[in-house]
Structure 1
Amino acid sequence: MTKLGFTTRQVHADRMLNAPEHGGVHTSTSNSVLFEFNDAQGIIDAFQGKRAAHVYSRSSSPSVAALQNMLNDLEGGAGALCFATGMAAISSALFALLKAGDHIIVSQYLFGNTRSFFDTIVDFGVQVTYADVTDISEVMDAYQPNTKGVYTETVANPVTQVADLRAIGQFCNEKGILFMVDNTMTPPPMLYAKDFKASLIFCSLTKYIAGHGNVLGGAVIDTGEFNWQTFSNIKPGYQVEDVTQWGLTQIKKKGLRDLGATLAPQSATAIALGMETLALRISRSQHNALQLATFLDNHPKVAKVFYPGIADHPQHFLAREYLNDGYGAILSFDLIEGADPVAFLNEMKLVICATHLGDNRTLALPVAPTIYFENSAEDREKMGISDTMLRISVGIEDTADLIVDFESALATV
């Protein structure tokens, strides 16, 4: 059979990768917490890592394993692990891999909750340097002898700065450090982080992967690009025969098992179902986002639009090089001076005021007093966040209907 297209692969991924029982096209939801071993030696071998088996559903279950196989295939990786939320994936993995005295370089444009986590690990003795990831010289200048890796999003939320992924990936490869990429905003087929030498890919499955605003989940995918033998923090007990699995083994044991942020089987099933239409939904959302951004960019009541598809975006040409089929489906904009973002949002009839992104429905919220309220005014200024900024997650509605809703609300400003 010739190589299948992206959507064909996703529609058939579950049955092709996981061979569901009884000829099903979807893996059944397995609600069992425990798993029986007819031979007691089997459970001993499973605990000691000598054989692969489900032992206790906090660490693994058939439903979650099926989703992990699909995600790993999606990103072309060496393995994947799922968690209860995107933040659980980030925190569990980094708590498992880092220790006091380590240093990590982090994007200064990082999403609020993720940045809050990095502020937390400072209290555990991990050194964090925030850098402008659109400028490789700043990343290079932040490097120290104890640097273990670089962490960045592909496209920042909400100001849409585009990280210089190719340059950072090359730098991390030369230094032998982890390149950790949060690909939530630009999942395949929009962008393949492995192409930029990403070591670990993080993703909030809640967003575009699931797509329907009805389930939480997160994942970390090991691309197989990193040589874990050079990473001094891997404990001897987790140095399994397959070197490519060292990182995931430690994350599974010290992160997923010990911290316990397990993805529920029912959630895994819902996420797997949402993945089937991933490319179709993203293509439609990106189309709508470009049309809406162009409309807003030409409106007299809008001071500035932040969207990589706009020609004057600082990383427009980088986005053209990196992204497929569009420029993403997140945009932000500032209203003109003196306008009230709250009053504007209250005039919206179709667009929903909510904190989420990657949904089928278009969502909006005022940025500074909500998701970045805990950040200081100085930090928000460094991130490019104004007091009047509005973030829009563009959905799959009819384009004309969206523009009419924004036009009507802008008329009241």
Structure 2
Amino acid sequence: MKTKLLLIIPTLDRSGAEKQCVLLASHLPKAEFDVHVAVLTRTGPLAAELEKAGIPYTVIGKSWKIDPVAYFKLKRLIRRLQPDIVHTWLFAANAYGRRAALACRVPRIVADERCVDPWKSEIHLRIDRYLARKTHGILTNSRGVVDFYTKHGIPADQFTVIPNAVLLPEMPVSGRSAKKSDDVRIDPRFEEKPEIADDPYIPVVVRDFVPPEKPFLIGIVARLWPQKRIGEMLWVFESLKFTGMNFHALILGDGPERDLLLRLRDMRTLSDCVHFLGHRSDVARFLVHFDLLLCPSGYEGQSNAILEAMACGIPVIASDIPGNDELVVPLETPDWKESHGDASDDSPDAPRQPTGVLVPECGDDFRRRRSLFVKEILKLYEQDDLRRSLGEAARRRVRDEFTLENMIDRHVAFYRQPAGNHD
């Protein structure tokens, strides 16, 4: 008999947690799981992927922070579906979904915390602690998230860590940062990768502003809001421009800071080399052309942008924060290969090969943090071989540790566990 699973998530926007939820819903074994998705607030572009996979979903339509109508709609849906497991994602769905599942006496209730959340007030954390006592398990994607919630009073033994998965079908591998190898599936259209200015799969609006002399391409894939520190990177790009570096920065994503960031870019006279491309559904087409990816966030859970770049063989320069430090193996010394040369890549005793650079947070000294980003970008700009070796190691790391199959298998094993008793 199939296990009835109800996944509850706030939206179907194209964001990190939503991507992982849809991946999970679409790829759980259909012979074992009957999956339904409840969307608490609104639908979004990921709805098309659920429809393609044949996964039914229901939009509840929550309109206010405290919305009793949405709560009763959710309870009615749960009573109609009679799920064996309710699995909720992110704060709003964790709060509404777990409370409704408790009221409907669902046999097993699972929550999912996807990010270090310093924005949460004491009221939010009290709700989290109360509902954690009623929950049969909490999933997360990184140890950093576990540490955050443990500090706020939720026992560590309630958490199970299942890393994110990256699924990029027919993903091209960067021509600059990786070499073609037998274990990588390459889109045949990229076997002889054109420069971005000639690539027919990149929108004309992008090809028009990238000059033909092959500039160094820096990518950022992020929502435009304070957590992501895009404003700091504009300072970094201004400093790079003063050095005479031939680069273009492509920023993919949208958000509430877009207008402010555009004004700051223009004030710093960066419009000739820094380009805001807005929300993109074809991020993979851009990743292959990047020479490196920046992820300067102030806090994360586990960044999909980093994983997707690593899967393409793109080295990453990221802030040294919980979550990022579980993805990026940092370059400790420039002579890493020399100091570890005796260890085979396939040896169980071999150290993990560096895949990128982690930039220290430097406390409140944001000027020093910016300067370190400039320094590390220039280092990779000047060292093609180093950049290539980091990219190759990044691609192998994703292939070995962050596959869709691994993520699905670990969720299936978790769902099969007995529920246990909770008050």
For this structure pair, what is the TM-score category when the shorter chain's length is used for normalisation? under 0.3
Structure number with higher relative contact order (C-alpha < 8 Å, ≥ 6 residues apart): 1
Alignment TM-score, normalising by the size of structure 2: 0.27
